[in-house]
Amino acid sequence: MIIHRSILKELSRNFIVIILSLSVLLFMEKFLRLSRLLMGKGADFTDIVKVFWYLQPSILLLSVPMAILIAAFLTYGRMAADSEIVVLKGSGMSFPSISRPAITLSAACFFILLFMSLYLLPRSMQSFKHTLQEAILKKASMTFEEGTFSDVFKGSVIFVKEIPSDNVFRGIFVYRDAESAGDEPAVIVARNGTIVSNPQEGLIKLTMYDGLIHTFKDNTSSEITFSEYDFVLSTGMESTGKTKADEVKTTDLWKGRKGVLLWDIELNRRFALPFACLIFGILAPALANKVGKIGRLGGFSLSVALLILYYILLIMGETFAKSGRLSPFLGEWLPNMFFGIVAGVFFYIACKDRPIGRF
């Protein structure tokens, strides 16, 4: 139908613009948090592209439901402001028919996002972790600058007075915290040293020469001098035994969901977020029809307010689920239940507003 294609075209145009904007904004938020690890004196453009690519499934899992709600509100809010919905009803179209483009787009996004969530997400997060660690390993020496303290590596603060050439340091000061040093914090100073990284083995080694190690605990301390000392730097990502839930394959999550609480929460999350697309695809046209001529600005403001409420409920649900006060199912699905009921009520009200009969 020409009318449906026209609405879908406007809806898709708004959706694409919003999804691109949200993806860039969410990536920049994540990238700023990673810049301390990734940037140093500069990262390869290919590393940044890889990080951006591998983060997309996790970003789209959040941004696609947002984009559907905002795009639908912008489209149907504009139609209401221009009295197009009134005209369509006057021509005999029912509200389910008017809202069909939004529901069609949300259903398509639901299936695409479900595939991303169940299949692509764990693989992309594993690749992201590997790429980030590899970038740090390749550019270990570039994380240091003359005369500045660096806390890039886990459990350590390192100061280098001079860097006469690549991978060669002079005037080294290292503070190693208690957790990394076996309950005894340590201070290491050395005349000079070299740093060597081995991406194949996943190791970064700072070899120091002509220095001393000062350890202290409670009221006691000790000093040891050395002519050569190897200090292994940790990126915090070496342990394969501490795999995060979002890196675990969905089949493994299903098998181990009863034994690991975080896995059960992650499993429900992978289904709940894609399902939000369907809810928002029903809610936005119905609510835009009910609130009247709110226009683009009003539709955008209302959709942002609803998204804030949705993600507040989602964060609270996840927090309660992790603390054991809610089951993983309720913790992840409670926002969908609430907004699903609201969407059903408004859609029912919109459907009762029958089109004007033809003569």
What are the tens digits of pLDDT across the range 41-88? 455 677 778 888 888 898 999 899 999 999 998 888 888 878 788 788
* Residues 35 and 179 both lie in one domain: no
Per the structure, the complete domain to which residue 222 belongs is given by 154-234
User: Is pLDDT above 50 for 252?
Assistant: yes
Strand partners, 187: 175, 214
* Residues 255 and 342 both lie in one domain: yes
Higher local confidence (pLDDT), 161 or 183: 161
Q: pLDDT averaged over the chain?
A: 83
Share of the chain above pLDDT 90, in %: 33
Predicted local distance difference test score (pLDDT) of residue 133: 72
User: Is pLDDT above 50 for 359?
Assistant: no
Q: How far is CA 7 from CA 28, 77, 88, 142, in A?
A: 32, 12, 12, 52
C-beta separation of 169 from 192 below 8 A: yes
Q: Does any domain span residue 145? A: no
173, 204, 234: which is the final residue of a domain? 234
Q: Does any domain span residue 144? A: no
- What is the average per-residue pLDDT within 84-108? 87
Q: Does any domain span residue 168? A: yes
* Residues 218 and 80 both lie in one domain: no
* Residues 276 and 344 both lie in one domain: yes
* Residues 211 and 312 both lie in one domain: no
Q: Does any domain span residue 85? A: yes
Q: Does any domain span residue 149? A: no
234, 267, 286: which is the final residue of a domain? 234
* Residues 248 and 294 both lie in one domain: yes
Higher local confidence (pLDDT), 341 or 141: 341
Structure-derived torsion over alpha carbons of residues 196, 197, 198, 203, reported in degrees to the nearest 10: 110
* Residues 56 and 174 both lie in one domain: no
Share of the chain above pLDDT 70, in %: 85
Q: How far is CA 315 from CA 35, 122, 265, 322, in A?
A: 25, 21, 12, 11
* Residues 20 and 166 both lie in one domain: no
Q: Which residues have a Cβ under 8 Å from the Cβ of 242 and sit 6 or more positions away? A: none
- Per residue in 176-226, pLDDT (tens digit) is 886 655 567 889 999 999 888 765 555 778 899 999 998 877 777 888 899
> pTM for the full model?
0.74
* Residues 20 and 99 both lie in one domain: yes
User: Is pLDDT above 90 for 282?
Assistant: yes
234, 254, 274: which is the final residue of a domain? 234
Predicted local distance difference test score (pLDDT) of residue 2: 84
* Residues 194 and 252 both lie in one domain: no
Please count the structural domains in the chain: 2
* Residues 204 and 176 both lie in one domain: yes
